[in-house]
Amino acid sequence: MANLRGRMTEAIVLSLEERSYLERQVRRRRVARALSERCRIILRCADGLQSKAVSAELGVHEHTVGKWRRRFLSQRIDGLMDEPRPGRPRRISDDEVAAVIERTLQTAPMDATHWSICSMAAVTGRSHTTIRRIWSAFGLQPHRAETFKLSSDPLFVDKVRDIVGLYLTPPTRALVLCVDEKSQIQALDREQPVLPMMPGMPERRTHAYVRHGTTSLFAALDVATGFVIGKCYKRHRASEFLDFLKEIDATVPDDLDVHIVMDNYATHKTAAIRAWIARRPRYHIHFTPTSASWINQVERWFAELTRKQLQRGVHTSVKQLETDIRRFIDRHNENPKPFRWTKSADEILASIRRFCQKTQTVLCGEL
């Protein structure tokens, strides 16, 4: 009697590296669905299942299982990858791509400060789609511009190491307070009532405003807890800053040293301020480098205040503005959370060094 059994399929035996790779591709979220499915097929085949059983379990055609089984047996992991497709031949040469990049980087249009996709397409005779693809491939975005400012402080490195050291390893039995003032906060009202948000329509307000005066906020942020000491003043002179230091002194426990991080504003260095600090040996002042406000953590809290309270707030008087600011501080202090400083001084200085080297290379290339 003839043998009616079907053709025997060759067993798949996986090495430890192959099984680890296949299982990793199955678990990954950002992997192509087709590759993940092929890896599942091979793993189930390696478990000893026949193609028909794998097909029923994974919901694919039996011929598909057989195809990837054969491909894996002949080429192993490489057989699971898509073969390169020729596609349509390129219609633009490498020299033409280089010419577009060079024009983008080194020239500007006659009627603008930077190139747009349409203006570059008109000059080069290429379609706007081609220009977009070239710019995307090389990360060129002529419409974007960012600002920067490097500190010229001769003690920049020492000050960065000092302040970052306070953030990462604060001294024992001491408070680290970041102090600064947010001056000229405007009490702004709109000329017409604000239209509230509705389904399908965002909140709307007039661009014109009525100014009802200004106030200045002095704030001290406790780096360890996120607690904020704040007080509003009509002006931001040395006398107001001295009064705020007295406010801090009345709030901070007497048995703790106080390390204050603040900038080089003139009102922070007057004779009266220096004399007040000299009479209190538990106070230690750490000045930030010039043009480096980013290292003062209270600036980050000021950004939260602006975004959550001031930017879209409507105030008909300075008194109402100050009331809202005090209410914001009180709500913040009900559940304060410190900002997490992650970079060490070495990492910050290395990042600035790389930026300077890159900038120097660009400038030398232009010369």
Cβ–Cβ < 8 Å for 44, 58 = yes
Between CA 295 and CA 159 the distance in angstroms is 10
Residue 73 has pLDDT above 90, yes or no: no
Residue 15 has pLDDT above 90, yes or no: no
Average of per-residue pLDDT values in the chain: 88
Q: Where do the DSSP E strands lie in 194-282?
A: 209-222, 228-233, 257-262
Please give the pLDDT value at position 53.
86
Please give the pLDDT value at position 366.
56
Between CA 248 and CA 231 the distance in angstroms is 10
Please give the pLDDT value at position 7.
57
Tell me the pLDDT band of 231, cut-offs 50, 70 and 90: very high
Torsion of CA 352, 259, 179, 355, to 10 degrees: 0
Please give the pLDDT value at position 3.
47
Q: What is the mean pLDDT of residues 279-285?
A: 93
For residue 195, what is the DSSP state? B
Tell me the pLDDT band of 86, cut-offs 50, 70 and 90: confident
pLDDT 10s digits, 151-169: 888 999 999 999 999 999 9
Please give the pLDDT value at position 365.
57
Q: What is the mean pLDDT of residues 289-316?
A: 92
Residue 303 has pLDDT above 90, yes or no: yes
Q: What ranges in the chain are assigned the alpha helix state H?
A: 16-27, 33-46, 51-58, 62-75, 94-106, 117-124, 128-137, 156-168, 238-251, 271-278, 298-305, 318-334, 345-366
For residue 307, what is the DSSP state? I
Residue 362 has pLDDT above 70, yes or no: no
Please give the pLDDT value at position 280.
92
Please give the pLDDT value at position 2.
45
| Percent of all residues in the chain with a pLDDT value above 90, rounded to a whole number | 54
DSSP for 9-39? PPPP---HHHHHHHHHHHH-SSS-HHHHHHH
Q: Which helix (H) or strand (E) holds 182?
A: strand 174-190
Q: Minimal CA–CA distance to 343: which of 179, 160, 178, 170?
A: 160
Least confident of 6-10, 72-76, 263-267: 6-10
The Cα-based distances of 229 to 28, 298, 330 in angstroms read: 46, 11, 9
Please give the pLDDT value at position 161.
94
The answer to pTM > 0.85 is: no
